[in-house]
Structure 1
Amino acid sequence: MGLMQLLGKEELERVVGKLSALASSLLFVLDEEGKILVEAGRDEFGCPLGGSFSVQEGSVRCPEESCPRSGELVSIPIEVYGQNLGSVAGCGEGAAARAVELLADVISQRAKDEFELESLSAEIVDKYEEITLLYEVSSTLGTTFEIEQIARQTLEYALRVIEAQKAAFLLLDAKGEMLEVVAAEGVPEEAWTALRVGEGISGQVVAERKPQLIEAGQPLPPDWERERTSYGADSFLSVPLLYSTPGAEEKVLGVINLADKASGIFTSGDLKLLTAIASQAAISIYKSQLVEELKEAERVKREMEIAHRIQMSLLPERPPEVEGVELAGMCIPAMEVGGDYYDFLHRDGRLDLIIADVSGHSVGSALMMAITRTVLRSEIAGGKSPAQVLAATNATMYDDLSRAELFITVFHTSYDKETRTLTYANGGHNPPFLWRAAEGKCISLDADGMLLGILEDVDYEERIIELQPGDILVLYTDGVTEARNEAGEFFGEERLRRAIEEGSGLSPAELLDDLYRRIYEHSKGVPQRDDITLVVMKVK
């Protein structure tokens, strides 16, 4: 910006005229090439000079040989913040040098003031335009909850405002390990490859959470150079997508890359502007991710409610009344739906007890247990023994369980009330406890057998034991023994065994209540993570 643009000809003529008259000197204001911009005192001094002086290495010389004052003049350059805007020159007697010095001071100070005012005005305009842009970006992105649309709109703004030719928007995957391209403009397909955090320019920007401005021809590490080359780019600008929640650590979501600015090089102003745009985009992305998480949580909640209803529908409303025994059963669902199931089947003098647990916590798990319940009941109705029931059920359910990547543990026992014999088989379930009243001790009932759904063709060991009046059979799931207290200690088999021994004089319903009370007191203050299921049979 020149002197005439900063101060104007009228003001320069007024100042130069006054000083020329006061100092009786011939004064000139020259541009940086020596051309006369303003002059005063020519008529009084009869100066024959044309329109310019000779300026060489900072010295101003009068080229007019006919002038008695030809040769080097008194001159002082006018500089503003290191930029040469011209000079003040003068000739005459006496006060000429002082007049030139004073005029140079006045013009330099006025030029500096105007330069600062112009710069401030330009900065205000730039800031206003930046605020307007960010408001526009915020307004647009604030109404969008589709992540890909946010990415595309962000790149449109960045390309338009910064005048780059290529752009890409990358987000971290769910594990926070890989950067994946969500949207891109003008970028070759080979640049759409996912990058590991710490790899290439983008990966390093995310790892360090600091932007990078790469100039054309700048030497780069091999992995950085590969990424720049994949964009087919010279200059490169990469800015992290950062979001900070109140009181929480700053979170990095991804990165925005721009390449090949139309004017050739990216500036610090471009970096500042892209950082501001990235900040708005990060807010929108974070909100969108929260919305997706809420949707997913709501979906899971609905699924859990359905699974819970399925699970509860599989359980018997009440135990059957069977001569010679007392029965009780309970299932206390966890906060997260488990897969526990128990059943009583009584027909033709035979009483079958089943307790089972399916892996997983979903509608699929609940449905798989419902199907297994149907198969178990069908096999039992066919008169098969416990070992045969488990083998047949495993063979029937194997394909479905393996495809769903689920498995089921099952303990099945059949009681003959006429002979008081208990026949049982175990498919990888927790071995039940049997209180032997005559001996005054608890024993564990186990038999070899694999979980259902692991192998297709499995044989199960079958065992038989005779019961006596007062004997108590307690079936349970791992939610009982794995209930933790605040110290992380399991309720465990030993506590369960001792509780059964101490409660052996109670009825089955009373014993169930007592066992649950002990489990609850043990794990007080710790959320229940698994179903607590118990079945009790007492021989009269």
Structure 2
Amino acid sequence: MNERDICRRISEILGIDYDCTRGIDELLKILEYEINEYKKSLEEQTIFMEAQLEELSRSYEEISTLLEISEIFGGFEFPMNLREKLEKVIPLLKKVVKFKDYIVRVEDLSIGNMSHEEVEREIEEREKTVLIEPGESKKFSNLLFVPIIGNRYYGYMCFSGKEEGIVFTASDRRITEVTSRYIANALDRIDFLQKEIERQRLEEQMEIARRIQSELLPRELPRTGFIDITACSRPAVQVGGDYYDVFASDGKVLAVMGDVAGKSVPAALLMSAVRSYLKVLSTSHSDLEDLVNHLNSILCEDLSNDRFVTMVFLEIFQNGTLNLVNAGHNPVYFLHDGEIVKLEASAIPIGIAEWNYRRHTIQLKPNTFIVVYTDGITEARNTLGEEYGYERLEETLREYNGDSAEDLLSKLKKSVEEFSKDVPQHDDMTIMVLKYKGQQEVE
């Protein structure tokens, strides 16, 4: 093959139209240039492939590390030994992020060789990731701060210094943020379980309190020949502040109802105190006014300004004489032969201030019903937000034509329950019904 044939062959390989009569030297220069360009392209592709392989290798390492971290925090343990888990996680992170110094601070727990005081002086806003690059801080050459936030703020992770490279990368930020979420999720689970355990414990304690309080109310009401008495009470929550009691002695019955301001445990505790005081005072004070005034003096000393008790005291004798003290309580109703008499409160609630409580005396006719209740009855609401109110209560009383205290109580309960069905009870509800049968019924 002569030079001209070689020239034509090279031209065909290069894909160019070259005049071989001009000689082969210029064509060889073109060939040399193309070969150098191809070599350069291969080198660039090699570098690119090596970078891709390095990135894939790092991604694999990151994924593998996150899987291990996920296994460490994914397994549920109660109680969780957070320090032990963090001490397993930090070496795994160090292999990938390649930091020199670190601190992990979760509430009162701190691990690492950095000072949390120095970190917290540097980072003012601690609920977002902060990346400090070289030259941006006098204290740290570089720093990666990652908060640990789940249902609430738990703490943070902070890393400083790089064993390889100068700055923390987007990849470093990504893997540390994912790790912080694993930690936060584990802490959320523990937090939820602790609250659930506490809730169950509180429910158990409230159930015990409910049983104890129910035992404070009379198990059986006194039976006398001249009066029938029946009562019921239902707290809005497991324990409440409504109270009633009946004390019977020769020829006399003292019926008491109270409604402590507030609900739940504080009201129940105050109700218990009122009951204890009244148990003692009822045995040592035969005069109703003395009893009420003495009870008020005691409670004024014991109660804070926002605590008080509305109370009704009914002292009924065999001959039908009734002494009544209504200390800020709901009106008392008297029902006889379809006619209603309503007696309003004439004094302030017990426990607010010193007061001279006076009795109101009336003469009961035989077969007179007396209805005493707390405001949970009149303030019961229906699905439209309307209150049961005094008008409905009075209408129920007027429509009653029976002759039993127990039967009248059932009618009142049914009326309120039908009115407020499908609506959660918002206040304690207590009713007491008394029927004065007349002196001729005395045994």
Q: Does 1:135 align with 2:78?
A: no
**Residue type at the aligned position of 1:150:** L
Q: Does 1:435 align with 2:435?
A: no
**Relative to 1, partners in 2 of residues 1:189 and 1:493: Cα closer, same or farther, differing over 3 Å?**
farther
Query: 1:536 aligned to 418, 433, 438, which one?
Result: 433
Q: Does 1:488 align with 2:380?
A: no
> d(CA) in 1 for partners of 2:221 and 2:265?
26
Q: Deviations over 1:291-339 (max 9, x none)?
A: 1221221122122212211222122233322233222212234453222
Q: Tell me the equivalent position of 1:426.
A: 326
Q: Tell me the equivalent position of 1:48.
A: none
Secondary structure, aligned partner of 2:208? helix
Tell me if the contact between 2:330 and 2:344 (Cα under 8 Å) persists in the aligned partners. no
**Relative to 1, partners in 2 of residues 1:272 and 1:413: Cα closer, same or farther, differing over 3 Å?**
same
> d(CA) in 2 for partners of 1:434 and 1:272?
77
Query: 1:266 aligned to 164, 168, 175, which one?
Result: 168
RMSD over equivalenced CA pairs, Å: 3.6
Secondary structure, aligned partner of 1:336? coil
1:504-523 map, 5 Å: 505-523=402-420
Secondary structure, aligned partner of 1:343? strand
Q: Does 1:302 align with 2:204?
A: yes
Secondary structure, aligned partner of 1:537? strand
Q: Does 1:117 align with 2:18?
A: no
> d(CA) in 1 for partners of 2:134 and 2:38?
47
Tell me if the contact between 1:442 and 1:497 (Cα under 8 Å) persists in the aligned partners. no
Q: Deviations over 1:366-415 (max 9, x none)?
A: 45433422321221222343333233223334555449x85433221211
Secondary structure, aligned partner of 1:474? strand
Q: Tell me the equivalent position of 1:202.
A: 126
> d(CA) in 1 for partners of 2:424 and 2:342?
30
1:238-253 map, 5 Å: 238-241=145-148, 243=150, 252-253=151-152
Tell me if the contact between 2:148 and 2:183 (Cα under 8 Å) persists in the aligned partners. yes
Q: In the TM superposition, what is the alpha-carbon distance from 1:518 to its structure 2 partner? A: 0.7
Q: Tell me the equivalent position of 1:330.
A: 232
Aligned length: 404
Q: Deviations over 1:135-163 (max 9, x none)?
A: 23434xx32435xx538855984596353
> d(CA) in 2 for partners of 1:156 and 1:399?
60
Secondary structure, aligned partner of 1:493? helix
Query: 1:213 aligned to 128, 131, 144, which one?
Result: 131
Query: 1:341 aligned to 235, 243, 246, which one?
Result: 243
Q: Tell me the equivalent position of 1:44.
A: none
Q: Tell me the equivalent position of 1:467.
A: 364
Q: In the TM superposition, what is the alpha-carbon distance from 1:487 to its structure 2 partner? A: 1.6
**Residue type at the aligned position of 1:524:** K
Query: 1:415 aligned to 296, 310, 316, which one?
Result: 316
Q: Deviations over 1:12-58 (max 9, x none)?
A: xxxxxxxxxx99xxxxxxxxxxxxxxxxxxxxxxxxxxxxxxxxxxx
> d(CA) in 2 for partners of 1:468 and 1:164?
95
Question: Would you tell me which structure has more helix in proportion to its own residues?
Answer: 2
Q: TM-score, normalised by structure 2?
A: 0.78
Q: Tell me the equivalent position of 1:84.
A: none
Q: Does 1:451 align with 2:337?
A: no
1:176-191 map, 5 Å: 181-185=107-111, 186-188=114-116
Secondary structure, aligned partner of 1:97? helix
Tell me if the contact between 1:387 and 1:461 (Cα under 8 Å) persists in the aligned partners. yes
> d(CA) in 2 for partners of 1:111 and 1:326?
102
> d(CA) in 1 for partners of 2:84 and 2:295?
54
**Residue type at the aligned position of 1:536:** V
1:217-232 map, 5 Å: 218=136
**Residue type at the aligned position of 1:109:** Q
Tell me if the contact between 1:426 and 1:461 (Cα under 8 Å) persists in the aligned partners. no
Q: In the TM superposition, what is the alpha-carbon distance from 1:512 to its structure 2 partner? A: 0.4
> d(CA) in 1 for partners of 2:103 and 2:43?
47
> d(CA) in 1 for partners of 2:365 and 2:118?
77
Q: Tell me the equivalent position of 1:98.
A: 34
> d(CA) in 2 for partners of 1:189 and 1:121?
37
**Relative to 1, partners in 2 of residues 1:184 and 1:320: Cα closer, same or farther, differing over 3 Å?**
same
Secondary structure, aligned partner of 2:152? strand
Tell me if the contact between 1:164 and 1:258 (Cα under 8 Å) persists in the aligned partners. no
**Relative to 1, partners in 2 of residues 1:275 and 1:259: Cα closer, same or farther, differing over 3 Å?**
closer
Q: In the TM superposition, what is the alpha-carbon distance from 1:494 to its structure 2 partner? A: 2.0
**Relative to 1, partners in 2 of residues 1:143 and 1:533: Cα closer, same or farther, differing over 3 Å?**
same
> d(CA) in 2 for partners of 1:384 and 1:164?
85
Q: In the TM superposition, what is the alpha-carbon distance from 1:516 to its structure 2 partner? A: 0.5
Q: Tell me the equivalent position of 1:10.
A: none
> d(CA) in 1 for partners of 2:213 and 2:29?
112
Query: 1:288 aligned to 190, 207, 210, which one?
Result: 190
Secondary structure, aligned partner of 1:262? strand
**Residue type at the aligned position of 1:463:** H
Q: Deviations over 1:277-302 (max 9, x none)?
A: 12112211211121122122112212
1:307-322 map, 5 Å: 307-322=209-224
Secondary structure, aligned partner of 2:285? coil
Secondary structure, aligned partner of 1:201? coil
Q: In the TM superposition, what is the alpha-carbon distance from 1:509 to its structure 2 partner? A: 0.7
Tell me if the contact between 2:327 and 2:345 (Cα under 8 Å) persists in the aligned partners. no
> d(CA) in 1 for partners of 2:296 and 2:142?
64
Tell me if the contact between 1:336 and 1:530 (Cα under 8 Å) persists in the aligned partners. no
Q: Tell me the equivalent position of 2:43.
A: 107
Q: In the TM superposition, what is the alpha-carbon distance from 1:192 to its structure 2 partner? A: 7.6
Structure 1's unaligned 5+ residue stretches are 1-21, 24-91, 171-180, 194-198, 206-210, 219-227, 244-251
Structure 2's unaligned 5+ residue stretches are 1-8, 11-27, 438-443
Tell me if the contact between 1:306 and 1:363 (Cα under 8 Å) persists in the aligned partners. no
Q: In the TM superposition, what is the alpha-carbon distance from 1:190 to its structure 2 partner? A: 8.8
**Relative to 1, partners in 2 of residues 1:94 and 1:296: Cα closer, same or farther, differing over 3 Å?**
closer
